[in-house]
Structure formats: structure tokens, C-alpha cells
Amino acid sequence: MSIASTAQFICFAALSITLVVGALGVVLLPNIVYSAFLLGGVFLSVAGLYLLLNASFVAAAQVLVYVGAVNVLILFAIMLVNKKENLAAIPGLALRRVLSGAVCAGLFALLLRVDLTTSWALPGPEPLGDEATLRIGEHLFSDYLLPFELASVLLLMSMIGAIVLARRDVLVSDVITGEPVDQGLIEKERIPLLLDRSALESSLLEKTP
């Protein structure tokens, strides 16, 4: 093997191991902050794999979008609401874990079997290298014009919707009639769904003298 292919193989192995271990860590670690940071590592290794495939524009875009935006926002969300809560114990958690693990293992075995029995057309098309940026632009403005433009509607609506849902101010009266908002249409009490109710109540009891 030449140095180039050896280096490529070593890079591929390192990236793949990082990717798989990182992804398992994201799912399995109990500390959600660690999961979020590991997710960043996973995104970076995916970017590295793109680089190995000679798709540098996609790699840079992956880093910019997933690491720089998505992962940072996830971390933000976690750090801003990182409040310790007494979560209710889930009945039969161990059994559930075993079951979901079995389902995942089965799916993995299936994918592996499909992967091994398929005759893949190898090697794939020649990578374009730096010309890829131009070609991506061409595609976005020719045969993928419709999805590209529709994506702008999607993003606009997601942004507006997120702002509407996150905004704290709510109307207290009907704009047209001026009457107070119809309480029959909206539920009054908010029940915490995942909290351990008994612990919550006992802590409330302790607080009230």
C-alpha cells in the first residue's frame, strides 16, 4: 500500500471508530450534556468522512450547519433548562431497555445482511473535487429549484411558528368581542407529565410549615 492509501485507511478507521463510539455514547450516556458534546464529535467525524470522499464543500457545510448551528443550539437548550427534576420511575425500565436493544440489534442484523448480500457498484463515480461547489449550485438552480425554493417556505414557517410558540405574551381577551378568553377551550391546570408526583408533593409539604 502506498502512503496515501495507508493514510486514507488510517483516517477512515479513526473516523469510523469515533463515529460509532460517539453515536453509541450519545444514546447511552446518562448525562445529557455529555451526549450533546459527543453529538458534536459525531458530526465532526461525519464531516471528516466527507473530506475523505473528496467532498470538501459538503464537509465544510456539515461543520457549519451541524456543529456550528444545530449542536450549539442543542447545547444552549440543554444549558438554559438544565434543572434537576425528580423524574417518576418508569415501570419495567430494564425490560423496556432489553426489548428496544433487541429491536435495534435485529434491525442492525437485517441491515448488515442486506448490505452483505447486495452487489454494490464499486467504485462509485469519480469525485469532482473543487468543481463540486459549482455543480451543487447548478443543481440547486435547475432540477432542484422547486425543493430549494420550497425549503425557504419551510424555514420561514418553522421560524415564525417557533417564535409564536415560544412567545410568552398571550391574548387575555377576544380581539373582536373584547370578552375574556373562553376558558372552556383551554385547559386550566398544567400537569407535569414525567415528574415524580409523590416526591414533588412531599417536597412541597416540607416547604410549607
Partner 1 sequence: MTLIGAYAVVAPTITSLQLNAGAIAPEMAVLIALLACLVVDLAGEGVASRWVPPICYAGLLSALVLLALQWDAPLEPSFLGSFLADNLAVAFRAVVAGSTLLSLLISWRYVESSGTPVGEYAAILLAATLGAMFLCGSTDLISIFISLETLSVSSYLLSGYMKRDARSAEAALKYLLVGSAAAAVFLYGASLLYGLTGGGTGLDAVALALKTSETPVTALALVFVLATVAFKIAAVPFHQWTPDVYEGSPTPVVAFLSVGSKAAGFALALRLLVGCFDSFETQWKLLFTVLAILSMTLGNVVALAQTSMKRMLAYSSIGQAGFVMIGLVCGTEDGFSAMVLYMAAYLFMNLGAFACIILFSLRTGSDRISDYAGLYQKDPLITLGLSLCLLSLGGIPPMLGFFGKIYLFFAGWADHQYLLVVVGLITSVVSIYYYISVIKMMVVKEPQEASDAVKSYPDITWSVAGMPSLRTALVACVLITAVGGVLSNPLFNWASATVAGTPMLQRAIASALPVALG
Partner 2 sequence: MVPALADLTPLISAAVTPGVVSPGLDLESSFSAALEGFGFTPAAAHLLWLPLPMLLVLVAAVVGVLVTVWLERKISAAVQQRIGPEYAGALGVLQPIADGLKLLVKEDVIPAKADGLLFTLGPILVVVPVILSWLVVPFGQHLLISNVGVGIFLWISLSSIQPIGLLMSGYSSNNKYSLLGGLRAAAQSISYEIPLALAVLAIVMMSNSLSTVDIVDQQNGAGILSWNIWRQPVGFLIFWICALAECERLPFDLPEAEEELVAGYQTEYAGMKFALFYLGSYINLVLSALLVSVLYLGGWGFPVPVEWLASALGLSPDAPLVQVITGSVGIVMTVLKAYALVFIAILLRWTTPRVRIDQLLDLGWKFLLPIALVNLLVTAGLKLAFPAFFGG
Q: Which residues form the interface with partner 1 (CB under 8 A)?
A: 110-111, 113-114, 117-119, 121, 125, 134, 137-138, 141-147, 150-151, 153-154, 156-158, 160-162, 164-165, 170-177, 179, 181-187, 189-191, 193
Name the minimum Å distance from CB 82 to partner 2. 8
**Distance of closest approach, residue 102 Cβ to partner 2, in angstroms:** 28
> Quick one: what does residue 110 bind among partner 2, partner 1, none, with the CB cut-off 5 to 8 Å set by partner type?
partner 1
**Footprint on this chain of partner 2 (rule: CB under 8 A):** 2-4, 7, 11, 14-15, 17-18, 21-22, 33-34, 37-38, 40-41, 44-45, 47-48, 51-52, 56-57, 60-61, 63-64, 67-69, 71-73, 75-76, 79-80, 129-131, 133
What is residue 109's DSSP assignment? Answer: H
* Position 31, amino acid: N
- Minimum Å gap between C-beta 158 and partner 2 is 16
Axis-axis angle for helices 32-52, 72-80 (nearest 10): 180
What DSSP line would sit under 4-37, residue for residue?
HHHHHHHHHHHHHHHHHHHHHHHHH-S-HHHHHH
39 exposure class (CB count in 10 Å sphere: 0-12, 13-18, 19+): buried
Taking the CA atoms of residue 124, residue 127, residue 132 and residue 137 in that order, the dihedral angle to the nearest 10 degrees is -10
Q: How many CA atoms lie within 13 A of 122 on its CB side?
A: 3
24, interface contact from partner 2, partner 1, none, CB < 5-8 Å by kind: none
State the minimum distance, in angstroms, from the CB of residue 209 to partner 1: 30
Q: How far is the CB of 136 from partner 1 (least distance, A)?
A: 11
Tell me the C-alpha distance between 81 and 71, whole Å.
Answer: 16
